[in-house]
Amino acid sequence: MLDIKYIREHKEEVQANCANRLAVVDIASLLQLDDQRRELIGRIDALRGERNQKSKAKPTEVEIAKMKRVGEEIAELEKALSVAESELNAMLLAVPNLTHPEVLVSTDESENHVLETVGIIPKFDFEPLDHVALAVKHDLIEFERATKVSGAKFYYLKNDLARLELALVNYVVDLVIKHGYSLMTTPDLAKTEIIERLGFNPRGESTQVYNIEGTDLSLIGTAEITLGGLYADEVLDISELPKKYVGISHCFRTEAGSYSKFSKGIFRVHQFTKVEMFVYATPEQSEAIHQEILEIEKEIFSGLGLTYQVVDHCTADLGNPSYRTFDLEAWMPASPAVMKVEEGQAVINQLGRWGEITSTSNCTDYQARGLNIKYKTADGQKDYVYTLNGTAVATTRALIAILETNQQSDGSIVIPEVLRPYMGGQEII
């Protein structure tokens, strides 16, 4: 979350930033609530001081009665303060992070800026199959029985595709570790409080989070949550920074409202495996580390031989915790592209589209402030760390791009060379 002091001193800037990022927050009302909170704290402190002063001498009966009334008043004010702080905290969580000055200001999510395109869009001299048709041809994915067991948008990976997923994870982990990241496997569950303090919304109709009924736990949508919560309420030494982690986890998302023929197969699912990079840094280190994470993502997907573009999110498409976000979007040559909408219906008039495969964000001190993670300098000063995250690979979407890009005219699929050592030298599916 943002520093309330910063909001007080820059209220017009913060309100404009909310508007640019399509966040519906009334900063004036937030500050009014903060004033009420501070007034309550002042009254409580004054009454406690009065009570403490009287306790230094033997009180009279009249003073005892008065102090009893003071105690009751303090209790009532503390109840009011608890309500005010809860309401203020909810409003603060709705305020997005500040925005990098180079980010395009736009209220249209589609206006993300393409920074570069790597590779050449593949052309086929045959009608390419999408990943679902390829999976059927080679017996690689089980959809119907997964629906019977777990419901729609679940799946079983089978045979060579299951092996290919494991190969992909191992290739990515080996590559990221070479850049100095420590490997962790993380829990698939986190306390709802941790999710909230990181700046995600685990409740309400718009949530993408599965909550576990009767507990304070939720299924994670990314290992950013479990890696980000690792040092909650701790103070790190500046000599430890940056601390770099790469985590493997399952990820769970409700994907409410996303059911359509344009997210068929395993593009948008309720569960997938992801390898996630996460870094704790000083403010001075953060820009360089953000670029480092982006370069690692590019190295991974260039190594796989995929065509992709690098996208810089505009303000309308930034998540609340992010100061700046870059995506990689891979070319998926047999996936349907929505070219226009006629009478409320999406119309496809070509195959092939860009699909998001990675995302990396600099969250500055937004998450650390919510989680109370600080670092201490050599002279004993304390400040909030900066946190950064980046997808090394989300396996399902990467597998789509690999299958569709590497298909041959006979329906076979060439395994990327970098993955073959992890599959016993196998070259073709």
Provide the annotated active-site residues: 253, 268, 356, 359, 397
Rg (CA), the chain: 26
Q: Decide: 312 and 326 in contact? Cβ < 8 Å.
A: yes
Quote the strand ranges of 229-270, DSSP E. 235-237, 243-252
Closest CA to 328 of 366, 299, 352, 351: 299
Spatial strand order of the sheet with 243-252 comes to: 113-118, 308-312, 324-342, 345-362, 386-394, 271-281, 243-252, 182-185
SS3 330: strand
Pairing of strands 386-394, 243-252: unpaired
Tokens of 302: 């260039």
Q: Decide: 374 and 383 in contact? Cβ < 8 Å.
A: yes
CA quadruple 49, 55, 56, 60: dihedral sign: positive
Closest CA to 330 of 348, 310, 307: 307
DSSP state of 128: P
How many Cβ atoms sit within 10 Å of the Cβ of residue 289? 22
Q: Decide: 204 and 90 in contact? Cβ < 8 Å.
A: no
Tokens of 131: 């990943």
